[in-house]
Amino acid sequence: MPWNNQGGGPWGSGPRGPWGSGPQSQGPTPPDLEDLLRRSQDKLRSVLPGGGVGGKGVAIAALVGLVLWGASGFFRVQPDELGVVLRFGQHVRTVNPGLNYHLPYPVETVLTPKVTTNNPIHIGMRLVDDMRRGTTTRDVPEESLMLTGDENIVDVDFTVFWRVKATSREGVADFLFNIQNPEGTVKAVAESAMREVIGRSEIQPILTGARQTTEAAVHELMQKTLDQYGAGITIFQVQMQKVDPPSQVIDAFRDVQASRADQERAQNEAQTYANRVVPEARGRVAQIVQAAEAYKEQTVAEAKGQAARFTKVLEEYTKAPQVTRERIYLETIERIFAGTDKIILDSGGAAGGSGVVPYLPLNELTRRPAAQPQAGATR
């Protein structure tokens, strides 16, 4: 610092000197140690009986100091913490939340890490607080750009949630003593695990439906690596926030994805049409086959019936030819005249008569019982 040469010496004018005689700065003046000691002695003389510090006073002061030193070993562990007690820097035990005691400093000390807090670490992105737009995301390409197994580049942003392994007493001690920078270690392991999983996969499944599989693989690989380190850290969850191609080719990749989606939609529509048409065609085929089978059975049955009837008639004709001929004639005439209108003429009637014989149509009366018959109707 340059000297002020306006005075007569190297420390300027006035009563200032090299050891602080006189005002040296505008800050607060440090306390005078001799004055503090003198005031402490005066207070101690006023408390002790006799107004002096003798052997008895020294013993009382030492006893009070010993009690205060012993009481300084009480400590409280919060519900989200665990207490790690160190004896001359060596881990001796782990205590649960609540009021506990350890041997006073410097014999034993205690560390209370938080073991229930989920700590997030963002890889490939950073959250930036903006007064105008709120929290925004800033991309970190040196962390997010990764090479896939089919030699494509993919931009992956993901978040890892971790916490101290509190399932065992040794896990908290491992977290405190085996790693120096927990956040840096978890971040390096997460980025390494994600690059390894992405390097074993192709870009197409990563961009479409393999996100959960990738997260599970990264989670398992990270936990295995941290357990090998003895880090005392549990990976709670891995969330992939963004998986995209590089910004220079993202439009081309989106066109490819749209084309593949159109292809899948067309295939699904064709499969739906086939699933509808093929069963209908099979149903019509089965219907036609069943109708043909029924017609075949009907025709065969009728032919067999007619053949059996002819055989029976032949047998009867052999026994009585004349009677059988008359019976066949009558049955034929009955079948012919059953569906025709009939007029009966009597050729041997009285002279001058019309020769028409009236008869009662019983069959029509049976079919239409509600109709009123006309009196004197003839046919």
Our CA dihedral for 200, 205, 207, 213, rounded to 10 degrees, sits at -70
**Distance (Å, rounded) from C-alpha 88 to C-alpha 322?**
140
179 and 82 in a common domain = no
162 and 141 in a common domain = yes
Residue 172 has pLDDT above 70, yes or no: yes
Q: What is the pLDDT of residue 17?
A: 41
Looking up residue 146, the CATH number of its domain turns out to be 3.30.479.30
Q: What is the pLDDT of residue 26?
A: 45
Number of domains in the chain: 3
Q: Count the alpha carbons within 13 Å of 338 in the hemisphere toward its beta carbon.
A: 7
Q: Which of 163, 174, 178, 159 is CA-nearest to residue 114?
A: 163
Mean pLDDT within 293-306? 93
pLDDT band at 185 (very low <50, low <70, confident <90, very high): very high
| pLDDT (tens digit per residue) in 49-96 | 555 555 676 777 777 778 787 777 787 877 777 778 888 877 777 777
Determine, yes or no, domain membership for 357.
Answer: no
Determine, yes or no, domain membership for 262.
Answer: no
**Distance (Å, rounded) from C-alpha 336 to C-alpha 325?**
16
Provide the residue range defining the domain that includes 68: 58-112
288 and 190 in a common domain = no
108 and 195 in a common domain = no
Determine, yes or no, domain membership for 37.
Answer: no
**Nearest 5°: phi and psi at 103?**
-60, 140
Residue 154, classed as helix, strand or coil, is: strand
Residue 376 has pLDDT above 80, yes or no: no
Residue 374 has pLDDT above 60, yes or no: no
**Element (DSSP H or E) covering residue 123:** strand 119-123
Number of residues that make up the chain: 379
Determine, yes or no, domain membership for 267.
Answer: no
| pLDDT (tens digit per residue) in 223-276 | 999 989 888 888 989 999 888 887 777 777 778 778 888 898 999 999 999 999
Could you tell me which residue, 29 or 128, shows the higher pLDDT?
128
**Distance (Å, rounded) from C-alpha 132 to C-alpha 130?**
5
**Distance (Å, rounded) from C-alpha 75 to C-alpha 101?**
6
Q: CB under 8 Å to 88, separation ≥6 — which residues?
A: 106, 107, 108
Q: Taking the model in full, what pTM does it have? A: 0.51
Q: Which residue has the tokens 């207490």?
A: 83
Q: What is the pLDDT of residue 8?
A: 40
Could you tell me which residue, 42 or 93, shows the higher pLDDT?
93
The backbone region for 156, taken as left when phi is positive above 0, alpha when psi lies in -120 to 50, beta otherwise, is beta
Chain-centroid distance, C-alpha 118: 20
| pLDDT (tens digit per residue) in 77-88 | 777 777 788 888
106 and 166 in a common domain = no
201 and 184 in a common domain = yes
99 and 125 in a common domain = no
Determine, yes or no, domain membership for 362.
Answer: no
Q: How wide is the angle at C-alpha 365 spanned by C-alphas 347 and 329, nearest 5°?
A: 50
| pLDDT (tens digit per residue) in 188-217 | 999 999 999 999 988 888 887 788 899 999
pLDDT band at 186 (very low <50, low <70, confident <90, very high): very high
301 and 201 in a common domain = no
Residue 287, classed as helix, strand or coil, is: helix
130 and 104 in a common domain = no
Determine, yes or no, domain membership for 300.
Answer: yes
Q: What is the pLDDT of residue 242?
A: 86
